[in-house]
Structures are given as structure tokens and as C-alpha cells.
Amino acid sequence: MKRFFSLLLLLILTSCATVNPFLTYDEKQPFTVPTAKPGTIPREAPTEVTRVHWRKNLITAYIDKAIKEDKLIFIFFYNDYCIYCKKMIDETFTDRGLVQIINKKYYAFKINTEDMDEESVERFEVDRVPMVFILKPRDPASKSKTDRIHGYKTSDELFLYLLENTSKL
């Protein structure tokens, strides 16, 4: 009796493996996944829209421009040894929507804190990385407004934060 049930079970399992009840008559051809050799898939060349325009000049040179053009200054502080900094550079700052809003509304700077002097570290109050510092420059008569974003942020988190909070600056 045990043999009969085990033989029946084996027969049922093998029949299920060969016939898929969800396939229609036309779909009985085996499905194959197309493969390509590495490097043969055409890739879209990076454009200016997919990259943040990181400025390399001094931030002070852009303060007058930012006041005239009503732009904010966006500073990303990072370190070479910081895993989350690298993750933000590779993933967060490559999101097309975030890149567009940063390039349109900000003068963006990427600063390695290892290259900063003590005075700059104290002035920007960089106590940990990654950190985003947003500056709304004002006329010399009034004080500039600032905002800090500490820690790793995904592109969605940073995008929503920029949309919601930069209008308050």
C-alpha cells in the first residue's frame, strides 16, 4: 500500500513538472531569457542633467551671484572613509529629479572635511558626515539663513526635504 501511494505521488509530481496548467496552447514553447555579452548593451551617455554641477571655486565667489539670482547654496560635506557618504554620492546624487532641482535652484558644492581647516569646520558646524548645509545668502545688512541635514538620505527623502523646507529659508 505504501508503494502504491509513493508511486502515485511520484507520478503526480512528474506530471506537474512537465505540464503547466497556466499556459495556453500557444505558450507551450519554452521561455528563454535573452542574454548579452558584457559591454554589448548600449548605455546612455551621462548628460549634464544626470549630474550635479559641483562647483570647485570658493563659496564666497558665489554668494553675490546667489543673492542676485535668488538661488541657495547647497554644500555636501563628506569624507573618503565614510560609507554612507559614498552611497549618497553614488545613489542619492544620481537621481534625475533630485539632480534637476539642485542644478536649478542651488549653487552646489561638495567638500571633503579632511581638506578643511579648523576655522571652516567650526563656521559650518560640521560635527559628522554626511551632512548637507543649505545657505540662503542675504544682503550684508541682514543675517543669512541656514539649514543642516545630518546623516544619510535617499534621493526621495532629500528631494522631499528640499521641496518642503527650502521655501522657508
Question: Any idea what the CATH number is for the domain that residue 124 is in?
Answer: 3.40.30.10
Q: What is the pLDDT of residues 34-55, one digit of tens each?
A: 444 444 434 344 455 578 888 8
Range of the domain at 145: 48-168
pLDDT for the residue 76: 93
pLDDT for the residue 68: 84
Q: Beta strand 145-150 with 131-136: parallel, antiparallel or unpaired?
A: antiparallel
Q: Is residue 34 part of a domain?
A: no
Q: Is residue 23 part of a domain?
A: no
Q: Is residue 42 part of a domain?
A: no
* Structural domain count of the chain: 1
Helix (H) or strand (E) holding 111: strand 106-112
Mean pLDDT of the chain: 74
Q: Is residue 141 part of a domain?
A: yes
pLDDT for the residue 127: 87
Q: Is residue 16 part of a domain?
A: no
Q: What is the pLDDT of residues 136-151, one digit of tens each?
A: 877 555 556 778 889 9
Contacts of 98 (CB under 8 A, 6+ apart): 92, 155, 158, 159, 162
Q: Of 2-16, 82-96, 128-142, 150-164, which range is least confident?
A: 2-16
pTM score = 0.65
Helix spans in the chain (H): 2-18, 60-69, 83-90, 96-105, 118-124, 155-165
Report residue 5's pLDDT band, with 50, 70 and 90 as the boundaries: low
**Nearest Cα to Cα of residue 98 among 41, 149, 59:** 149
Q: Side chain identity at 77, as an amino acid letter?
A: F
Q: Taking the mean position of all CA atoms in its chain, how far away is CA 129?
A: 16
pLDDT for the residue 26: 45
Q: Does 34 or 69 have the greater pLDDT score?
A: 69
Check pLDDT > 60 for residue 131.
yes
Overall average pLDDT of the 92-100 stretch: 90
Q: Is residue 110 part of a domain?
A: yes
Q: Is residue 6 part of a domain?
A: no
Q: Is residue 158 part of a domain?
A: yes
Query: CA-CA distances (angstroms) from residue 30 to 13, 16, 25, 33, 116?
Result: 19, 15, 12, 10, 61
